[in-house]
Structure 1
Amino acid sequence: MSASTGNRRPTIAAVAQAAGVSVSAVSHVFNGRTNISPETAQRIREAADALNWRPNLAGRRISGAVGNSIGLVVTQSEESFRRDPFFIRLIAGLTGPLATVGWSLSLTVAPEADEAQIYRQWWTEQRVDGFLLVDLRTKDPRIPLLRSLSATAVALGPAPAAFPAVTLDDDSALTEVLDHLAGLGHRRIARVTSAPGLAHSRKRDRALSAAARERGLQVKTLAWNENAADPVEELLAARGNVTALILDSEALATRVVSHAQDLGVRVPAELSVLSWEDSWVSELVRPRLTALSAPIEDSARHAVDLMHRMVRGEKPPSVVVPGRRLVVRESTGPVPT
């Protein structure tokens, strides 16, 4: 199969010829019909990829063959996904806005190795009208993939200019967190992350370090090792003389608060613990978690609005949502003397 040449736009007939099938077979594959064998369907997709051919989006809308769905692909383990309150709030936040525009949510949890194939298949088979991108990574491979597919996408968090994004203005949140801990006497702080490769994680590190320097505080980054025999024990041993921890999620923070006492570390008498995210989970542990409440539902509403406008042919700009606010509870206290 050879790639298309010149400025001519590839046609469905060219795809059929390259794959050695009829035009109707190509049409059936990209309309999601199941009367084509998996082997033949794969050969047709490979021919389409080689020719950089995609179904005409405008044409399928005129004919009424529209997915009316937004795709969300989560590359976490199923166990991690089940106990992550962020996704519970995100899905709940998407439900109302999607119902308003008459759309549904197509969601899958899959290994990262399967990610590219899912995006490619959902888009080329017209299962979704666009994708909601979460947990963007540094040099995220999804960006060039979706651009090559001419797919519609909206990002939650910092993203390249290729797609509009919904981001949080977290400058005031950083200030609140550091001023709160500094006011309690803490001078040595650690931020704990389970995903150092995420774009928003690196951005947060840089912003936190800069704000800490302005206040004469020491901040270092520690990695959460989920594969350790006891991740909490390893983290507490690695913290050194740090007196306060800022963890990326309440899922991690609640594990620290719940288990630290068993390991001989009292919260907050000996160690203050703060979560970068907040949910109902923060209220369940004792001591209750000091946390940053994020406008996840508001972000979801903006994301659906951006997607809906893009599908209608508009080119909406990115949206910045007011950031997190600090909710002080019992897991932070004065620095130990």
Structure 2
Amino acid sequence: MNLKELARKLDLSPTTVSRALNGYPEVNEATRERVAAAARRYNYKPNTRAIRLATGRAMAVGHVIPLATRHEIVNPVFADFIAGAGEVYSRNGYDMLLSVVPDDNEERVYRELKSRGTVDGVILHAPRMEDPRIPLLVELDIPFVVHGRATGTTLPYSWVDVNNRRAFQRATEFLLDLGHRRIALINGLEFMDFALRRRRGYEDALTARGLTADPAIMVSEEMTETAGYRAALHMLALDQRPTAAIVSSMIMAMGVRRGFEERGLRVGRDVSIIIHDDELSYLRNGDDVPIFTATRSSVREAGRQAADMLISLITGKVTGPQELLLEAELIIGQSTGPFTG
């Protein structure tokens, strides 16, 4: 079925149908939904080349990935985020352009995307404090959404983020309620905004109970299994070892658990662990009963939400910076228990 045939079935003009399918703001919501439902019913797929000619859009979204040796973007949660975003792109007829570049080429790539008109917008990943990419994208006038937030950035911008500070505050409070006082923080790299917010949540909870964070049991590392393992061994060698740990990812926690168990500690009885679980499709935190107690927030859903937000900005369905803060759920698993002294 082509556009004209779909328009005849709906008793609408081809122009109206085209604009409804492409999110033009002048088409009212009822018409847009009616057209979308008919397109699904008749399995109508718009001609991407025709859309590009009609709208002047590239019908593509860019993801620029800096290739650094010590950078959180190497964490495999990125794949689930892309999977979620890709669902939305596919549904809306957009392609995805993935550029993997050296860190010092990032600005050049964004400028080339703008000058060539290769993409209609971009998702910005792994924001840092006072991230210089945000003012760059504002200057280039490219629609963009940040996956996360950038502390210290004063310009308004669109973002989708999980409430990392509150998640780690709740995790710390839970362990404090179980009687633990020597609680380790095994965090991601703290020039990354999410890791900074997680540390603040952890410190807030300790301060509220009259406790002071001990730097000897606080680690900031790449979120790998090996880094978690080394952090666990380091902390177990201290005169006053921690009785519990909050760990920034499932993968890192696997290393922490390996280190604890090598020293004869039973997780959930002798030592407690809480992790952040991105609810990865290929690395599940148990089946019926979670392996780890966790602050859980789906990174795939974050990908869907960020892509939806970006397409709304590209099409003009919304204007101005948009913000979405997702809350993490505290899931009780087998890795925590009361402090037994």
Same topology, TM > 0.5: yes
Q: Which amino acid aligns with 2:198?
A: R
Superposed displacement of residue 187, structure 1:
1.2
- Tell me: CA distance 1:65–1:263, structure 2 relative to 1, closer, same or farther (3 Å): farther
Name the CA distance, whole Å, in 1 between partners of 2:88 and 2:231.
Answer: 42
- Tell me: CA distance 1:98–1:205, structure 2 relative to 1, closer, same or farther (3 Å): same
- Residues 127-138 of structure 1 aligned to structure 2 (within 5 Å): 127-138=118-129
Name the CA distance, whole Å, in 2 between partners of 1:287 and 1:299.
Answer: 21
Superposed displacement of residue 80, structure 1:
8.2
Q: Moved runs in structure 1, 4+ residues, more than 4 A?
A: 60-65, 76-83, 225-231, 284-287
Superposed displacement of residue 310, structure 1:
1.8
Q: Per chain length, whose mean CA-contact separation is higher, i.e. which structure has more relative contact order (CA < 8 Å, sep 6+)?
A: 2
Superposed displacement of residue 335, structure 1:
2.2
The number of aligned residues is: 278
Name the CA distance, whole Å, in 2 between partners of 1:306 and 1:116.
Answer: 23
Where 1:203 maps in the other structure, the secondary structure is helix
Name the CA distance, whole Å, in 2 between partners of 1:167 and 1:226.
Answer: 19
Alignment partner, residue 333 of structure 2: 329
Unaligned runs of 5+ in 2: 1-50
- Residues 227-242 of structure 1 aligned to structure 2 (within 5 Å): 232-238=229-235, 240=238, 241-242=241-242
Name the CA distance, whole Å, in 2 between partners of 1:74 and 1:287.
Answer: 32
Moved more, 167-176 or 327-336: 167-176
User: What is the aligned-residue RMSD (CA, Å)?
Assistant: 3.4
Q: Check the 8 A contact 1:85/1:251 in 2, yes or no.
A: no
Alignment partner, residue 178 of structure 2: 184
Q: 1:224 aligns with which of 197, 221, 224?
A: 221
Q: Does structure 1 residue 101 correspond to structure 2 residue 98?
A: no
Alignment partner, residue 153 of structure 1: 144
Deviations 1:251-279 (A, max 9, x none): 21122213432244442333322212343
Alignment partner, residue 299 of structure 2: 296
Alignment partner, residue 121 of structure 1: 112
Deviations 1:287-332 (A, max 9, x none): 9222211143333233222212222234244233341001121222
Q: Check the 8 A contact 1:243/1:336 in 2, yes or no.
A: no
- Tell me: CA distance 1:123–1:271, structure 2 relative to 1, closer, same or farther (3 Å): farther
Q: 2:66 aligns with which of 65, 70, 75?
A: 75
Superposed displacement of residue 90, structure 1:
0.8
Name the CA distance, whole Å, in 1 between partners of 2:332 and 2:114.
Answer: 44
Moved more, 308-317 or 182-191: 308-317
Superposed displacement of residue 76, structure 1:
5.0
Q: Which amino acid aligns with 1:310?
A: L
Name the CA distance, whole Å, in 2 between partners of 1:132 and 1:173.
Answer: 24
Where 2:186 maps in the other structure, the secondary structure is strand
What TM-score results when the alignment is normalised by the length of structure 2?
0.69
Q: Check the 8 A contact 2:228/2:253 in 1, yes or no.
A: no
Q: Which amino acid aligns with 2:322?
A: S
Q: Check the 8 A contact 1:81/1:87 in 2, yes or no.
A: no
Q: Check the 8 A contact 2:225/2:252 in 1, yes or no.
A: no
